Amino acid sequence: MLHGCKTGQAKITKGYRLPARHVIHTVGPVWQGGERGEPELLASCYRRSIELCHKHLLESVAFPAISTGIFRFPADHAATIAVTTSIDAIREETSLSQIVFCCFSEQSAALHDQALSEAIAGRARAGPPR
């Protein structure tokens, strides 16, 4: 059905028996120190997913903290990329009225909150982690 999905890309399927009408599948990068395009690939996951939302006229989307589990992407940097890329993507024409960052820990939620606050204040940078 999907015929594979490359890192940084996204594909959409029906939700079938899930509560969601659709599921967007994306493959985040494995963290290898940040010098192999990982930040750009992670941003592409969010951007391509939001493009699919618009193409299919979806009104809401929920994202986990892509690549921060077994792929070991630094959670603070990933949160900044998730938030800033999503904001940039919806500045253009979009069907989305809601983006949810589904965080599975208090730490992840706090990092996404901080990234959103910084983005609103205009201070967010999606550059390499320090």
Question: How far is Cα 24 from Cα 109, in angstroms, rounded to an integer?
Answer: 21
CATH number at residue 116: 3.40.220.10
pLDDT at residue 128 greater than cutoff 60: no
- What confidence tens digit (pLDDT) does each residue in 41-85 have? 999 999 999 999 999 999 999 999 999 999 999 999 999 999 999
pLDDT band for 126, please (50, 70, 90 cuts).
low
Q: Which residues of 50-83 are buried (b: 16+ CB within 10 A; e: fewer)?
A: bebbeeeebeebebbbbbbeebebbbbbbbbbbb
Q: Does residue 113 lie within any of the structural domains? A: yes
Counts for the chain of helices (H) and strands (E), in that order:
3, 4
Of 127, 50, 42, 36, residue with least CA distance to 88 = 50
Residue 129 included in any domain: no
Helix locations, 1-130, DSSP H:
38-55, 75-91, 106-120
Residue 62 lies in a domain: yes
25 assigned to some structural domain: yes
3-state secondary structure of 98: strand
28 assigned to some structural domain = yes
Number of structural domains in the chain:
1
- Please, which pLDDT band fits residue 122 given cuts at 50, 70 and 90? confident
Domain that includes residue 47, residue range: 9-124
**Does residue 21 sit within a domain?**
yes
Q: What is the pLDDT of residue 130?
A: 41
